Chain A
């Protein structure tokens, strides 16, 4: 690929490679408060698939049993224009009460939980336990040939742990997807 430098530019700065008129795609974490009624998740997912939006991660559970409200956390990727469309489309739905863009709203705590099954013996097994300790992963099940670890953290941390476990006999992973809340004492 040839470098596309703008006319009059003599320094090869990386900034000059970027077309200022092009919108760049970025990941956004959306927190959506919905009525916990049948079909509500299908509505939200149907909106994403029907209009061709991305879903990178999705979690849902009831968070207010008295008010029958659930929180859906979706990580999506798109240009600012697309992300604005997604939010407007979500807000249009009858069971949707609130859509919060945690990526724009400020700092948010974003966490994921994952369970790893690592199978091995001898040094491999010892090494996996040692690394688990470094990552503060918990052993939640074990046999003579395996450990099952539970790890909570950012997605990056979970990715890093998975990468380290791969040569040590990583057998299976289950991940929850991201849950997130805004930092500070305000509710979003």
Chain B
């Protein structure tokens, strides 16, 4: 290749992103990434969203990725820029969200010299990415970026990072096109184990007390997986429950829906998991929030586990029939073969099973005592759900009690509508995620259900929301407490509330006004509906300060170290005190 065909590393980065179909980047400039920002300035195809902190850039990219099914892209500078992205990378790794972070680095000849804003970025991010690269040769830059997108988006999705030293951005090199790279590094999906599949179908046909337990893998696998799941549920009439990450893959209004399962899941979902004789786990990973006490988890069931990641199999729970591969592919094959064999199910037994489930449903485990003079947080979420469900709506959350209430009381009819930090539990996720979602869906209603403490962790993003005129609605359930921490201290630590209240809170309405956005405060249950409507109708960002009951606990709850059938439904009794063994668990 002649010199004339060569372009600078910075140009290569932009060209590669365009080649990958990227139209939006979230980022923050700095010394070591200036050449890339200079290129960004001179083109029109990629829109850059300037965040106010690099952590927010990664969460915004996650929100963008999860609400669209595309890959989120982030630019950060070296040193502090890169280290600030670590939380977002870890969050994306835990929740299998595909994002590509491109970080500036000090020039290659200064690496290792403790240069200004130098950090060992690939070293620091090695355990929190699916893979990462330090590019030392401009000629390899395009290829590496294309590889990064392949790794992020294929198999079980996840975050990747490409570290680009400043001299590599300035130097000239050859560009490699997206379809010209060698793809041998991509892990091949194994072919379906048909014997295992048939054995699973045998058990499905004989199941007397079946349950389908689905997770985020169904959503990651795409619309065809969601359709297959819905067909299977409709065909078999099996009950279905989902993890926090899986909400929306089966519609909340569907007749077989049991609600979310796990630590704060419904009574019917957890009792069904405990009592079933056949469990079909689809794209979920038997997380400790789901299983409760491992040795008492669903003791009498035959377990089928569909997962694209072989390391998820038998990690926490030993299963009888592992099926490794893409959910959509396996579910389609399973349903087709089951239908070919005559669509058999144990109809009579299934009816009996549904009777037990309906008895459990009748317990109404999400019930709470409402009040006429103070807003109960559950009531606030219920009203929010009621008044917004008819909209083209996307919901993100922060982490804590409000997150669980949102999961319990909001209904999702479609996938990719619910964005929350599940695995890592990152307070501060929701606000920047709502920004990423709104960027991807400019005409939709985007609501972040928040707690005041979580929200404050990334409140600087108000600037971003204002700058890009993003009408994100920040629905803050303000109990002036770190609610979930306070709840655990009440249940586990003798009601000694060590540092779990939010002292010196800002006046959220004035804070909104300081940024030129709308602030609404509501503390009277009778005004709640009007205030929520005002929030929806306002054509710009809103901070909704909803003052709620301060000491409300989130129930039902499986206490640490207990099994599914040992849920606490309401306030504490002597019997369900958490044991010392349970207390060490988180």
Contacts and interface: CB of A to CB of B under 8 A. Distances in A.
Interface of A: 38-39, 42-43, 46, 50, 81, 84-85, 88-89, 91-95
Given A93-B131, A94-B151, A85 B126 contact: no
B311 A88 contact: yes
Contact of A94 (B122, B127, B131, B318): B131
A39 B185 contact: no
Given A39-B122, A42-B123, A94-B185, A89 B311 contact: yes
A80 to B, nearest CB: 10
B314 interface: yes
Contacts of B310: 88, 91-92
Contacts of B134: 38-39
Contact of B130 (A39, A50, A88, A94): A94
B287 to A, nearest CB: 15
B309 A85 contact: no
Query: What 8 A-B pairs are tightest by C-beta distance, nearest first?
Result: A88-B311, A94-B131, A88-B310, A89-B311, A50-B127, A46-B127, A92-B311, A46-B126
A46 to B, nearest CB: 6
B315 interface: yes
B404 interface: no
Given A92-B309, A94-B151, A84 B130 contact: no
Given A38-B134, A94-B185, A84 B127 contact: no
A39 B313 contact: no
Contacts of A89: 311
A22 B453 CA distance: 45
Contacts of B185: 94-95
A39 B130 CA distance: 14
Given A42-B123, A42-B126, A88 B313 contact: yes
B165 to A, nearest CB: 14
A43 B315 contact: no
A89 B309 CA distance: 9
Contact of A85 (B122, B123, B131, B311): B311
The residue among B122, B123, B311, B315 with the most chain A CB atoms within 10 A of its own CB is B311
B130 A85 contact: no
A91 B188 CA distance: 11
B135 to A, nearest CB: 11
Contacts of A42: 123, 126
A39 B126 contact: yes
13 contacts: A38-B134, A39-B123, A43-B126, A46-B127, A84-B314, A85-B311, A85-B314, A88-B309, A88-B311, A91-B187, A92-B310, A94-B151, A94-B185
